[in-house]
Structure 1
Amino acid sequence: MLKQSCLRKILVVGGVILLGSMLLKSATRATSKPHQIIAPPKVVTAKQQVDPKFKNKLVPTLKKDNYSGTAIIYQNSRRVASYNAGYADYLSRSKNQLNTMYEIDSIQKSITGVLVMQQVTQHKLALSDHLSMFYPDVPGSQNITIRQMLNMTSGLVLTGPVGPNMAESDTQIIQSDISRVHYLGVMNGHWDYQAVNFNLLCGILEKITRQSYQQLFTTQIIHKLHLRHTAFAYALPNSADSATGYSGLINTNQASPYAKPSGRNQAIARDELGTGQVYMSAGDLYRVISAILTGKIVSIASLQQLYQGASYSSYTAGFYTHPNVKSANGDGYGFESSIHISPDGKNALILLSNYQEPLFKTRDLANQFDYLLF
């Protein structure tokens, strides 16, 4: 029989002291049972904790509305309630899940605004710069500042939809907009929601950085924040867990909310330059917006500068700003989305739905949770 060498050791596991022996490897092994190692208790991270107060409000409210999509509530940066309902794709019967990606539509403007501010912090741009420095052919550009474009108070009005009716480059999209945009001097300084402002801001970003908007977004947002469920609409991978958008009439019968898939082609996906091109999961969206508000993209001081001077509508750089909450909304192509978040990024409600109605019900649903969070 081969000799065995025993090494006595004290094992401290989960606060319990165990005596055991560690046998050296040999050609033959003893048949006695090995000593049982008591594993430490599983740690439940803060982000997994569920608060019944929020769950009991979230689930009944959305069930009553026949909600199709994903919803998450965060408190003190913890996910305290979530709800998934309906089909991501009715034809294949795949259901909406926590990591399902939805078109966030105009919520993207809040990210574009911070990418603009990033160039300001690098002294490559100033909020007081005029549009004429970059696009002198735009009517009234000598009277329009970067700040006004961020606040939608430029006086620019675009005839028809943004971009051309075929998939083209960002430069071609912007030139198409410039050929159709008008300047209303009486509206300069007055709020008027016009997506063309952000299309042109994306063009300015591309001129300054010498990168496409997609490249800039990818490096400064997706890679920096390690996002795993975010992609551009025109570059969705085949394996992506993305929802199909559906459109319906007011109070559509519960049995037929998926009767009308909303079509979207490459031209439309590209035309929404900086204003509605991105798919995200609810978790990724929270990660981005909370990172913005906590100074991970630009400093808090720079954010304070960016969000000053909101128009009378309280709109600035993609957000509607109020003392206790910031909000952003998006709708289009069969999707509706809303985020309400505290200025410190800790408390938030995110609603991403793949069912669009004419009355934009998701925005009204989001308002019902403000008293709980803010």
Structure 2
Amino acid sequence: MLKKSWVSEILVVSVVIVLGGALLKHITNQQDQAVAPPKVVAVKNGADPKFQNKLVQILNNDNYSGTAMMYKNGRLVASYYAGYADYLSDNKNQRNTMYEIDSIQKSITAVLVMQQVAQHKLALTDHLSQFYPSVPGSKNITIRQMLNMTSGLVLTGPVGPPIAESDTQIIQSDISRVHYLAIMHGHWNYQGVNFNLLCGILEKITQQSYQQLFTTQIIQKLHLKYTEFAYTLPTSAANATGYTGLITTPKDAIYTKPSTRNQALERNELGSGQVYMSAGDLYHVESAILAGKVVPLAALKQLYQDASYSKYAAGFYVQPNVKSANGAGYGFESSIHISPNGKDALILLSNYQAPLFKTKSLAQKFDYLLFN
């Protein structure tokens, strides 16, 4: 009888310890204390060891949180995912997790513009004044210059109004605060207002909203499964939460500062920061574009042939062997490096944003392996 009582007491104490530990973890999470990242998952099915090992080595050493994929000759040769898509709900990043791609979206918007050029509804030499004559300097600014960020336009403050509005209201807010610097005309200066206005031009020509155009010409045409607009993101969607911190933040504390969603910002970055995508969907889109499946190859050649001195053209930084694009914001960082024919690529989509754009420098570490 004494032995049975002693065993029972041990069981009671054990239960108390387990429950107390669970309660302590919950309290710790609520108090925004350091949390440990989950175990890294490296996907090896069908992988090429040369690419897979290098991808794991570099990203593992960096405590990478997100999804990464490498393609060679159109075949997936390496993939990797690690970290939490959402720590509080214990959801881990997976192969098809969707991330905000931010400014990488500009490269897709530029091709939607080029569709209208290929259909002879627009020309790269057309002037902004044909669509928005009230914009300062619009008689001097061409569509190509807007695509290449050499328009001379400079916006006071962020794009769009402080509250969520329609596309038309977003553009009117920009027009009321945009300035034309003649000294910068023809010189590269990265200004998101260029793409907001390009989206407005698309809407005037097609009589569709940008979201409708993107949905029909990109999502539906290319049969994407893991692509959504941020401001209409389903609650059940497999999307990641963005987190922010410093490069020096310890690996056990990178999930302590989730980024707050802001629908006004998600709407305001018209054509340039509104879309969540999986790494696979992003490769599918960009490779299809470069293979001439969205606009003819001759039109693509015309689109990218006049890169500014920064090598920037239509959403990409253009070099002979590789095109690259980057995005950052809302607790996300993203980079894509892809060959001109779309067959070789590295895609990094991360839900941890730190200063100095770490994902961009990470992507450059793979160029010798893919593009030389």
Q: How high is the TM-score relative to the length of structure 2?
A: 0.87
The 5 A counterparts of 1:188-203 are 188-203=185-200
Counterpart pick for 1:362 among 336, 359, 366:
359
CA distance in 1, matches of 2:84, 2:271: 28
The 8 Å contact of residues 269 and 277 in structure 1, kept in 2 or not, is answered as yes
In structure 1, what is the equivalent of residue 348 of structure 2?
351
Asked whether 1:98 is paired with 2:95, we answer yes
In structure 2, what is the equivalent of residue 61 of structure 1?
58
SS at match of 1:286: helix
Amino acid at match of 2:365: Q
TM-aligned CA deviation for residue 60 of structure 1: 1.2
Amino acid at match of 2:237: A
Asked whether 1:288 is paired with 2:304, we answer no
In structure 1, what is the equivalent of residue 10 of structure 2?
none
SS at match of 1:270: helix
The 5 A counterparts of 1:218-229 are 218-229=215-226
For structure 2, the 5+ residue unaligned runs are 1-43
Asked whether 1:140 is paired with 2:137, we answer yes
TM-aligned CA deviation for residue 48 of structure 1: 5.9
Q: How high is the TM-score relative to the length of structure 1?
A: 0.87
SS at match of 1:176: helix
The 8 Å contact of residues 48 and 78 in structure 1, kept in 2 or not, is answered as no
CA distance in 2, matches of 1:136, 1:121: 24
Amino acid at match of 2:256: A
Q: Percent identical across equivalent pairs?
A: 78
CA distance in 1, matches of 2:310, 2:107: 16
SS at match of 1:143: coil
Deviations 1:82-102 (A, max 9, x none): 000000001111000000000
Asked whether 1:89 is paired with 2:86, we answer yes
Counterpart pick for 1:322 among 314, 319, 324:
319
Runs of 4+ aligned structure 1 residues displaced above 4 Å come to none
Asked whether 1:131 is paired with 2:128, we answer yes
Deviations 1:9-54 (A, max 9, x none): xxxxxxxxxxxxxxxxxxxxxxxxxxxxxxxxxxxxxx96210000
For structure 1, the 5+ residue unaligned runs are 1-46
CA distance in 2, matches of 1:357, 1:76: 32
In structure 1, what is the equivalent of residue 169 of structure 2?
172
Amino acid at match of 1:363: K
TM-aligned CA deviation for residue 250 of structure 1: 2.3
In structure 2, what is the equivalent of residue 8 of structure 1?
none
Which structure dedicates a bigger proportion of its chain to helix? Answer: 2
The 5 A counterparts of 1:1-374 are 49-374=46-371
CA distance in 2, matches of 1:265, 1:359: 23
SS at match of 1:228: coil
Deviations 1:143-173 (A, max 9, x none): 0000000000000000111000101000000
TM-aligned CA deviation for residue 371 of structure 1: 0.4
Amino acid at match of 2:159: V
TM-aligned CA deviation for residue 239 of structure 1: 1.2
CA distance in 2, matches of 1:320, 1:251: 28
CA distance in 2, matches of 1:328, 1:232: 19
The 8 Å contact of residues 68 and 84 in structure 1, kept in 2 or not, is answered as yes
